Amino acid sequence: MTATTGSAPPAGALPHWETTPEDLPAAIREIKAALRARIEASGRGVREVFAAVERRVAARVAEIEAERRRGESVWPVVDYTDIENGTVSPREMARLKRRGCLVVRGHFPREQALAWDTGIVDYVERNRFFETYTGPGDDFFGSVGSRPEIYPVYWSPAQMEARQSDRMARVQSFLNSFWKHTSDGVQWFDPERDALYPDRIRRRPPGTDSEGLGAHCDPGTLDLWMTEAYQKAFRHLWDGSVEEYDPWDAAHRTAGPQYPGTTMCSAFRTFQGWTALSDMDHDQGVLHTVPIPEAMALLMLRPLLEDVPEDDMCDVTVNQVFPASETWHPLLLRALTAIPDVRAGDSVWWHCDMIHSVAPVRDQKGWGNVMYIPAAPWCPRNEAYAAHVREAFRTGSSPSDFPEEHYERAWTGRFTPDRLNEIGRRGLGL
């Protein structure tokens, strides 16, 4: 028995491992048996519970396929001014919750975004980044057979100005509000305050041939089944009440551990997101998602079916992304849908559990430049990570979630603490 306690769990309790199990195949066999037993104790079979989720997801897939046939935009699109003025229509609010993704038009003025893009180029060239860059510092995307074009740069003035902007804070709070953030007398996160989560930039030049990035999701890996907090977060999948599963419920998701791995995310994000620094057309190697927040339930239950080997979780393992594949998830991949055309200054957001990919492209037309900024509301998990972020900011280091490349430690022109505004200080926990 390899559970955290070192002994058999109480009757009815699930075994759990708060750190990565030493014997992964044995732990997988153990947790799969325990989860099946938990489901069956409710009076329902695993196949019955999976079928209930599959029907729910299949209805969403059919909706999305019908919208695409009609030439409609599957992605909700909202103007920033409507978020700022509180005038987003009830219909669009409902679509956002149903689809779990959003494009914010004019999140930043186009001229501001283009100036930030120019500023990033100046920052990296002035500091001879291309002469010292040694290539990707991780193989995190090995499980999906591809790698994006990412610069491990975190502390440019452009990135920090966007992160601590009141326009960014307003959109983050709007997105956080779609989540159930208080239950059972616990406030799981503060929807009005975001942690400053530093991530990288992508710059893809015109004429690029890119293999893209295979379909995957990012909330975690085996820890989603094996740690106690996530077992509680996904409780409705295991206790016979699968119809009550709510992908927008933050309960138990904001304090638990995540198994360490290259480019893990220590923070809880309500939405992943990026801000466009160039114009991008929908057919030029852009983001695709499966815009079905409930799909996570299918991903979690699928390994329990009898056609999956007992020591396998549909190819999910530690230190790689959580893959979605034609082998195990063909229904879901039918719904994979590109973002609409975006322009510099627009931002793109998708629910933290959502399957996403980046399409391949040949001879790309125009630049494909973004800076990654998520919605990561203040909570115990994000407060703990903020301590690491503060130290990385102070020293110009790569944040602890990312490979230890530390290019910016000696760079000139780095964003300095005296330029932090109130949003920036709060986001760093200062």
- Local structure of 83: helix, strand or coil: helix
Mean of pLDDT values over 47-63: 98
pLDDT at 131: 87
| pLDDT of residue 17 exceeding 70 | yes
pLDDT at 208: 85
pLDDT at 142: 52
Question: For residue 288, which phi and psi values (nearest 5 degrees)?
Answer: -120, 150
Which residues neighbour 379 within 8 Å (Cβ) at sequence distance 6 or greater?
188, 189, 190, 195, 250, 254, 255, 268
Span 169-221, pLDDT tens digits? 999 999 999 999 999 899 999 999 999 999 999 998 888 888 888 999 999 99
Mean of pLDDT values over 39-54: 97
In the chain, the percentage of residues whose pLDDT exceeds 70 is 94
Span 217-242, pLDDT tens digits? 999 999 999 999 999 999 999 999 99
Rounded distance between C-alpha atoms, residue 107 and residue 194, angstroms: 17
Mean of pLDDT values over 295-324: 96
Cα diameter, the chain: 65
pLDDT at 111: 98
pLDDT at 4: 46
